[in-house]
A and B are shown apart, each in its own frame.
Chain A
Amino acid sequence: MSDGLKIELGRRYRFAASHRLHSESLSADENSRVYGKCNNPYGHGHNYVVEISVSGTVDPATGMIANLTELDGFVEREVIEAFDHRSLNEEVPAFREKVPTTENVCIEIYQRVKHFSKAKLERVRVEETANNSFEYAGEELADLRAV
């Protein structure tokens, strides 16, 4: 923007899902040591909160970076429907290979939402519980954090 200001729109969504932290490349003992209770073979669940931040030009006709209905529809379709009330390990293809830690959940959501065509995805923040949260801004994050 010519005034040198950047505006971002932030939106929070929720889903509930189960997961199990288990790596095929570790032994049973190592899995138990590394993941503790999260290695329980039956899995366990969380109420996840997903915070999406997008940037772009504020359209003077609408006052908006992106129409909320369109952003909500996209995230609902691409993320919430795929994750909500699911077993992340069993039902989200990305987690057949990768351990569904919230770090990886964050990256997977970023990969999905970056295809939203009406605004630029800036970052994804996922709260696994009220006390744990993870943030991913693509590969530029390391550079930003280093400043």
Chain B
Amino acid sequence: MIYLTRKIEFSASHLYHNPALSAEENKRVFGKCNNPHGHGHNYTLEVTVAGEPDPVTGMVLDLKELKAILEREIIQRMDHRFLNYEVAELKGQIPTCENIAKVIWNLLEPKIVQGRLHKVRLYETPDLFADCYRNGATQA
């Protein structure tokens, strides 16, 4: 099995606020991330696809194809957007790294038909990231 990883970057703003909590609780739980005007990050996304190389092309999947999927599904949807207000899939969710990684997984999994999506790793900063993968999968 080969694990192939493609990396992309996008920049977006967000804020953490749960309307079910009081203003004080929001402040306590989310700290600076609760600033009502939002703030932004340069996100780095690593997408890992697992599969066997095709005997003819030597590829698990065509990287051009993966690049196009990532451009269409992720960049166009999230780059230079305010995640809370402009990404429908995140409506009603706090746009944490964990939740965004899962949204990205759900967007990409049905689109990757050569090989299969193995792991999504989303860095919010170089020191903070979330991984999403199928239960029971090995961490590669």
List the interface of chain A (C-beta within 8 A of B): 1, 4-13, 53, 58, 60-65, 67-69, 122-123, 137, 144-145, 147
Contacts and interface: CB of A to CB of B under 8 A. Distances in A.
Contacts of B30: 62
Given A12-B127, A69-B31, A145-B138, 10 more contacts: A5-B102, A5-B134, A6-B135, A7-B98, A7-B102, A9-B97, A62-B29, A63-B93, A122-B139, A144-B138
Nearest to B123: A10
B21 A58 contact: no
Interface of B is mostly: mixed
B126 interface: yes
A9 B98 contact: yes
B128 A58 contact: no
A132 B28 CA distance: 38
B139 A123 contact: yes
A64 B138 contact: no
Contact of B134 (A6, A11, A63): A6
B135 A8 contact: no
